[in-house]
Amino acid sequence: KMNQRNLLVTGGAGFIGVNFVHYWLGQHPNDKVIVLDALTYAGNKASLDPVIENPNLTFVHGDICNTELVESLLKDHSVNTLVHFAAESHVDRSITGPDAFIETNILGTYSLLKAAKKVWIDLPKEQGKEPLAHRFHHVSTDEVYGTLEPNDPPFKENNPYEPNSPYSASKAASDHLVRAYHHTYGLQVTTSNCSNNYGPYHFPEKLIPLIITNILQDKPLPIYGDGQQIRDWLYVEDHARGIELVLDQGRVGENYNIGGHNEWANIDIVKLVCKLMNEAFEADSNLANKYISAKSAIAGNAEQLITFVTDRAGHDRRYAIDATKTNNELGYKPAESFETGIRKTISWYLSNSTWWQGLLNN
């Protein structure tokens, strides 16, 4: 375990990255955090506002594909830990425009690996020194394992990779490159494969924030196909805690699944969110004044907005994570139950309307 960490966090202005940065600065007041983010449509510097005055935080606007920039950040800030979140992350966008996914997810990860190898291993070696102490942590997804039938056991770390979308294929490629840099060059890597996340700062194109923000605008709640696709959901701060454990105790070269054994059909999540939104409006009469457009929820019937739409091409039926290895080896356990996590998420969106209203129509 490293005493002091200087972290380079890529994608730290995106959904999971920003939650990780908030969590890390809170838990590790002596560590330095450098965020590198290209601020694509999914990145939002305002999400760092609550920590932007923290002297331990540095924000750099830049692209992970810029290897020279990454090298200079690693050197100038004596970075010993790189946590790699930056990615194109929306499956639908990967179907209509895969280019950015190949560039950021594959070439971008390759660029980071090259810079890390050079600064941490090659340059010290040229001076006759040992490699610098370092860790390269790669954040990946359960989607690399493909899709499951209803009765299949959940994904384990040794499941074969069977990605089905341009998004999951690009993530799978990056996972393989990270692995290869360990086996070929001795780069000290770990990888975590996590299930679907939800929580604050989630871009309103993704299912849960889309449903919440559409209810507030009284817009239809689109459900793909029959709504019976199953996903395994984890509160985003529980993901941050899982990554922290892997950094502290994970074995180099290993993959760790992170998940909460929390499988839900999409339609059931949408119904749960509708129910909790109806209740929120019933419990607090001020909300109806703040969100006058939320007519169905004000009337206690957000469910009437549910609308079935044509299924996504190649839509995976089910993802589920078996996190036994991470639980047993690292003592990992999620803290949040689904209902408390969804309640926290709803109340965050209700209190942060300027954040999400600024992102609509992106």
Binding site for ligand NAD (CB under 6 A): 10-11, 13-17, 36-40, 42-43, 63-65, 85-89, 104, 108, 139-141, 171, 194, 196-197, 203
Tell the smallest beta-carbon distance from residue 43 to ligand NAD (Å): 2
The CA distance from 206 to 266, in Å, is 12
The residue with its CB nearest to ligand NAD is: 14
Residue 229 burial (10 A CB sphere; 0-12, 13-18, 19+): buried
Q: Which is nearer to ligand NAD, 119 or 294 (CB)?
A: 119
Nearer to ligand NAD, 235 or 291 (CB): 235
Smallest gap, in angstroms, from Cβ of residue 141 to ligand NAD?
Answer: 4
- Catalytic residue ranges: 142-143, 167
Whats the size of the chain, residue-wise? 362
* CB 239 to ligand NAD: min, Å: 7
- Cα→Cα distances 93→45, 207, 226, 351, Å: 22, 14, 21, 28
CA distance 9 to 15: 13
CB of 135 to ligand NAD, least distance (A): 17
> Looking at residue 51, what DSSP letter applies?
G
Amino acid residing at 325: K
Backbone angles phi, psi at 6, to 5 degrees: -110, 110
Measured from the CB atom, the residue of 110 and 203 that comes closer to ligand NAD is 203
Residue 249 in contact with residue 334, Cβ under 8 Å?
no
Q: How far apart are CA 110 and CA 104, in angstroms?
A: 9
